[in-house]
Structure formats: structure tokens, C-alpha cells
Amino acid sequence: MERPIRILIVEDNVIIADDMQSMLEEIGYEIVDNVIVYEQAEEVLKTQQVDLVLIDIILASDKTGIDLGKHIRLKYDIPFIFVTSNSDRATVENAKTVKPNGYLVKPFEQQDLYTSIEIALSNFIRGSKGEGEGNMASVSDVPMSNSVLKDSIFVKKQHLYYRIQFSDIQFIKADNVYLEVNTVDKKFLVRSPLKDYLEKLPKNKFYRAHKSYIVNVDHIDAINSKDIMINNNLIPISKDFKEFIISAMNS
């Protein structure tokens, strides 16, 4: 089931915070909450599902945004972006110690905010905290690819990345330079080689059934000598895949 990305804003300037919320909601993101201090952010993270956090480094509390970044790295497996008026060397070096997924300097435009979020989401891999994947990067350094999570993947549709559960993906079809990702009730277009995309999917569920298809074996409804059927879609299969399925059926 797809849903909008859920964002927590932690910003002690209420005018800037409200402006950010308006920008984000206009794009299509969902704002979980808009808080001003570390303790409020901690409570939201504890009780709500959050996909990404936007954090001002200087907060109206004893604990700073960098303290919150450390807390997120320790307790949660989600990306966060520092949003600050400070771009001096000392602040940047201090921020880098907690490996944020982005660093956005005020003032900024809606497009700057959107780009920072999209890059952070598209490059964040659940389970990568503390291993360097969360380091800051520029647009030119970062490939705009879909990021794998434990049980889901981000798939871009129009101007947003939607989180799709692996279990909802039925099959993936290669169509020139694009892939057509078919879920139970929707289709998404992804720009990626089929073999690269296969590496991002759970290996015990997804298999290359044909040179142009990846299938989720849990969704196979029927099989014959040349094809399988998934949700009334007839999908060609290779000889190797047919032998694999028959062997699995007989084991």
C-alpha cells in the first residue's frame, strides 16, 4: 500500500516552521508534527511513524539539533536533514559527526527543500546508520535511485517517492530504459536496469523469470511449460526458471 512520506519538522522559529510546513504540504508530503524543542521531537519519534526529520541545529532548549541527530542515529533507522542559518566551518564539522543525510542552509526555496528531501530519501538504506551512507553529499555526487528498506522500497511517481511494501509487488517488467513495477492495484515507472533492480529485492521472493521480467513467487497463480500467470497477466518464463519452479513445487 503506498502512502505519502511522513516528515517531522523540528524548528524553533515558528514562522519558518509554518512556512516549511506549507511548502511541504503543497508538494504532497505529510507533516507528522511541527515542534520546537528536542523533548517534543523525542516524544513524536517515540509515538508516531516518521520517515524523515528536518532539524534546525539551534533549538529553544538545552539540547541542540545535533543532540537530536545523535539520538536518531542511536535509536531510529530514518534519515534526517539539518536545516540551519549557520554554514561556518565549525558548525558544519560538528554536524558531520552525526552523519546527517543532508544540510540545507536558510533561506531556501521550495525547490531546494524538495531536492534535499528527495536525495536523502533516495539514498537512504535502512540499516546503514553509522557506516557512512548517511554522509552529506551534493546533487552531483548522488545517483537518484530507489532505496531499499527492510520490508519496502521507495518508488518515484511524479514528484514524490512512495513507499511500497515488497509483498505488494507482483512483478516487474522491463520496457526499454524503464521498468514497470506492478503492485496489486497500481503501476509505477522506474528508470533502472532490470538486473540492478533485482539486487535491491529480497532474494527469497523475487526471481528473474525471463530476460524482461522479475516476479514475486508468492503471487504466481498458475504455470505451464512457457508461462506463469500473476493476477491474470501471462508472463513468459525461461527454461531455467521453469525448472526452478517445478523443483520447488516437488520439494
As a whole number of angstroms, the distance between CA 213 and CA 211 comes to 6
The pLDDT score that the predictor gives to residue 220 is 93
69 and 19 inside one domain: yes
The pLDDT score that the predictor gives to residue 216 is 95
List of residues 6+ apart from 45 with CB closer than 8 A: 8, 53, 71, 72, 75, 76
In-domain check, residue 133:
yes
Tell the residue number behind the cell numbers 546503514, with chain if given: 128
Q: Indicate the pLDDT class of residue 157, thresholds 50, 70 and 90.
A: low
Residue 71's H or E segment, with its range, is helix 65-75
11 and 135 inside one domain: yes
CATH number of the domain encompassing residue 48: 3.40.50.2300
173 and 121 inside one domain: no
When mean pLDDT is compared across 28-32, 46-50, 193-197, the lowest value belongs to 193-197
- Choice between 229 and 193, residue whose per-residue pLDDT is larger: 229
The pLDDT score that the predictor gives to residue 6 is 92
CATH number of the domain encompassing residue 216: 2.40.50.1020
**Does 143 score more than 60 pLDDT?**
no
In-domain check, residue 158:
no
Give the range of the structural domain holding residue 65, as residue numbers without chain letter.
Answer: 6-141
Taking the model in full, what pTM does it have? 0.54
100 and 185 inside one domain: no
232 and 130 inside one domain: no
Retrieve residue 125's grid coordinates. 538504506
In the predicted model, what is the mean pLDDT of residues 53-73? Answer: 93
Q: Indicate the pLDDT class of residue 196, thresholds 50, 70 and 90.
A: confident
In-domain check, residue 146:
no
The pLDDT score that the predictor gives to residue 177 is 74
105 and 27 inside one domain: yes
Q: Rounded to 5, what percent of the chain is helix, strand, coil?
A: 35, 30, 35
112 and 185 inside one domain: no
Strands 187-191 and 160-165, by their bridges, are: unpaired
The DSSP bridge partners found for residue 183 are 169
14 and 134 inside one domain: yes
Last residue of a domain, one of 103, 123, 141: 141
In-domain check, residue 56:
yes
What average pLDDT is seen over the chain? 83
In-domain check, residue 152:
no
As a whole number of angstroms, the distance between CA 134 and CA 209 comes to 34
Phi, psi (deg, nearest 5) at residue 78 = -135, 155
Phi, psi (deg, nearest 5) at residue 34 = -135, 100
In-domain check, residue 148:
no
Into how many domains does the chain fold?
2
In the predicted model, what is the mean pLDDT of residues 78-86? Answer: 91
